[in-house]
Each structure stands twice: as C-alpha cells, then as structure tokens.
Structure 1
C-alpha cells in the first residue's frame, strides 16, 4: 500500500474509533441505503469525517448517507419548523455519504420513519400519519400495507422561464453518451436535472462513475436522472418509466426517491395534456410509486410511496 492510501486508512480508522460504543442501524429503501443513529437527547456531534467513515463500504458500515433521528427542538432548522408545525417533533438530519448536508431524501424519509418505529420512538399503526421535519421542509408520512407514502410537497422548475418556453433548460453530458442531451431541472426541495433517453440500451451504456456535466448547473449543484419512458408510456391509467441516477455528493445509487419524483414531473410535463397522475418508477433497487395531487394550499404536490427495510442493528466497536 502506498503512503496516501496508508494515511487515508489511518484517518478512517481514527474517525470510526471516535464513535466507539455508538449504536446504529442499517436500512434501505429500494436499495438506497443508510446508516441510522438515534439521538433523542440531541447530544451527538456528527462531523463530516464521521459520516464518511461510517458510510465507507470497505472500512465502515457502508451507505449512501447517514440519518440522525433528533428532536426538532435541538436544531435551529427544526426550531423554525416547530413554530408553524408544532407536531413535527422529530427531525431527519440527513448527510450525504461525503459528509455534506442534504435538504431531503425521499427514500431516506421512509427508512427514517421505519427506524423511529423500530426504536420505539414513535407509535404509527397502519393507516396512521406522522409529521417530521427536514431541511426541505415539513413532510407528512402515512404508513401503508406495503410500506410508507410521503407527501413530498409541491414541486417547481428550477429555471421556470426556460422550462415553460422550451420544455428544457440545460444540456447534460455523461460518459457513454456521444452528445450532450437536453434536460429539465426540477426542485423537490433539493435540485434534480432530468434527461430522457430513447431506449434502455442508452441507459445501460451511460457510465455514472463520475458526475455528469450540467450546463447551466443549478446554484447548489444537482442530482442527475437518466430516464427511459416505457412503450406504451401509459397502461391502465398509470405511466411507467425506468431510471438511473447520479446523486450529488454520493455517486450512482440504487434508487433516489426525490429523483423518482423529479423524473415523473419531467416526463409528465413532456408528455403534455392528458398525461396521468399516477406513475411507476423502476430503479435498479426496485419500484417506487409517484402520484400527483392538489395540496391544501392549491399547489400541486407529489406523493412518493415504497418499502422501507431495517437490515441490521449493532454497536460500533
């Protein structure tokens, strides 16, 4: 092993050692996986290097990100949400695998709630709902027979003028694609840029080891979804698409909940009048459901549904 690798290994080992004795769980939603930590007293200080150590797939637990379950009152962001939503007792403190903060994670929300139930921190029977805080705002989750359904809130175009005028607002280049492709940028509380491809062969040939290049890039970076519409697009009132994603701060993941919502937004927009409100989104890790409905304030909301699984729990040595 050369010297840089040795130093990196020692640093990772040191970061993991500083968390010795910490209890954790490992969970996933359609293959999008997370390290989960309960912090009911708001006493844990999780530094970016701790996140990278825990999410390291070779020297740590492994995960696309880390989720800390902490009462909203212990975070400035949570306190702001509580002022308007006093029932948002728990806050999903989500970090990407590189240690950076993220606004939201659709698969992570479902796994977060499943973790709260498993830890005995909340009681949520089938059909019941729970309000939680995130950096992307307050989210309402309903426990279903097959998992959880999340009101992801309203969607919006990141570059609304461009999207309305031309149905695209950027160009995306990626390894494996011969030319840059037009794309549409959608906010689901976090940024996404959606590219439509013609066939599954193109989707499979796209290499996502490195981040796609987006021009112009949204102000805070972006997640990039490559999507193939099914043929036919709509069957029995439900649209179907297949997607791969490169997540900002992570790389390619097996699934991305907010990305699935953004992909359905873009394909539905491109399909035009008469496009359905219900969608199945196939990702490498499984299938999630996306539905559009009008929220209480009159804006169109997106609901994301799918499973959540806790696969292991333990204590860091």
Structure 2
C-alpha cells in the first residue's frame, strides 16, 4: 500500500506521493491508474515529493541552487513527465509545509527543483506566489482549430518553461461553446505538443490598474482542466502583448476553478512573470499500486 494526499490549486487537482529518498519511481501505467477518475483516485497529474539529491534530474537543480532540497517530479495524467506546473508547485510547497518537510517564514522563499529549472515560492495574500522565471515568445503564430470553433484562429506561442499557444476569442459565448475534451489542432503542430489557452479579454480590459481576462485550457497529456497556472501566466502575457505598451503588468485571470493573479516584473537577466493563487489539501489515504 502507498500513502497519498489529494490536493488542488483552483481546481487543478493532483495526487501527491511522498517519496523523499527516491525509492518509488512511478511508471507511466501507475500514474495513469492513479489519475483515472473512474477506477483510480482521479487527478490531472501526480506530484512525487522527492529530494533533489535522490533523483537524477535533481542534479541540475542542485547545480543551479544548492538550497533546492526538494524536486517536484510532476507527471501528466497520461503518465508523461512535464517540465513545470504553476498550480502544482503551489500545492507541492503547501504539502511540504504541512508535512513538516520545509519551513517558509513570511518574506522568505523556498527554492523548488523542476524540470524547467529552480523556481522560488513565497507566501502571498491568496496563498502562494511562484516566480516562474524568464519567459519568451516561441513557436510563432500557429493556427488553432477546436471543436466548437467555426474557423481556425491564430494563436501566439509562448515558453514559460513549458510550451503554450494562446488564442483570443471574440466573446464569452464563443468561449463557453468550445468542446476542449478533444485536443485542439495546431498548424504547424509544435514538436512535443503544447498547452492551448482560449481567452476572452475583460470588458473593460483594465480596471483599477489591473488587467482582466477569462480563460479555458486544454493541457497536453491531460485534456481540459479547471485551471492551468503557467497557462494563466501565458494568457496574461499574450493579452498584454496584443494590447500594447500601455497595458498593465498586473492581471486577474479567471479560470473555471477560480481566480489566479499574474504579475510581470524586472529582474537582472530579463523580465520575469509571477503567479499567485491558493493551494489546498483535500484528503489522505492509501492505495494499492499493484
């Protein structure tokens, strides 16, 4: 039997497996079984809590930041490894604190190793804020086709440690009519796939100096989810890009599972993007992975 904890960030839900010494490297089949909503626990992905020193991929994290004791081994629901998860890393840190595996004093940060590099997490008014690091435009402007869209729409490719394509729609009605269970088709198709966000700017776009946007997302390797943290950041960055130089650097992104905050800020090596939002642990149990 293996102990697990179920957690979520704005409805983006995860099965958390504590494996501090790296003794239980989950197979793709085991991840699929855990995430199955009919025959397993049910989740968008699995977060394995493991020390960076106990996993081969953690060596790069420790080389980048020697204090990055913990590595977030995140797997999509289909069993594939993912570089980064903005909601998942907040839930990951919340678990570390609740389990007594780490401390986080007000105003301080805790570095977490990921396949996209080390990410710093701190407390925020809504829960936790993670510095997602540098971002950049990538992948050009592919055409996106989705069930419920009458014609293909142009998207904007962005890289936040994992790939995204953000597609603007004309109205809330158009956004609500989408069927995002089947994967949207991108032309040209990016190597390795991408998360695809469909967005509608708020009306007005800016209120009290904060940009507002609504989003739905299809996550590669998962399907439609109630939220995507890096997708929310990509959405805010794309809408700011389209809006021009007078657009704000703070955004409120509404997802089906709640609201996330996005902030762009200057750093020594270039602009970073931060993501803030809640993290909750729902229940604990045991499961037979055999």
Give the TM-score of the pair, scaled to structure 1. Answer: 0.89
1:234 equivalent in structure 2: 206
Superposed structure 1 runs of 4+ greater than 6 Å apart: none
Query: Which has the larger helix fraction?
Result: 1
Classify the secondary structure of the residue corresponding to 1:52.
helix
Pairwise CA distance, 1:128:
2.7
Alignment map for 1:46-195 (pairs within 5 Å)? 46-159=26-139, 162=140, 169-195=141-167
Pairwise CA distance, 1:84:
2.5
1:201 equivalent in structure 2: 173
Give the TM-score of the pair, scaled to structure 2. Answer: 0.97
Structure of greater Rg: 1
Compute the RMSD of aligned alpha carbons: 1.0
Alignment map for 1:205-220 (pairs within 5 Å)? 205-220=177-192
Classify the secondary structure of the residue corresponding to 2:57.
helix
2:264 equivalent in structure 1: 292
How far apart, in 2, do the equivalents of 1:309 and 1:203 lie? 27
Consecutive unaligned residues in structure 2, runs of 5 or more: none
1:100-157: CA deviation from partner (whole Å, max 9, x where unpaired): 0000000000000001111111112333310010001110000124200000001111
Consecutive unaligned residues in structure 1, runs of 5 or more: 1-20, 163-168
1:182-204: CA deviation from partner (whole Å, max 9, x where unpaired): 11010110000000001000000
2:218 equivalent in structure 1: 246
Q: Does the 8 Å CA contact 1:240/1:280 hold for their aligned counterparts?
A: yes
Classify the secondary structure of the residue corresponding to 1:209.
coil
1:31-62: CA deviation from partner (whole Å, max 9, x where unpaired): 00000011111111200000000111111111
Q: Does the 8 Å CA contact 1:158/1:218 hold for their aligned counterparts?
A: no
Classify the secondary structure of the residue corresponding to 1:290.
strand
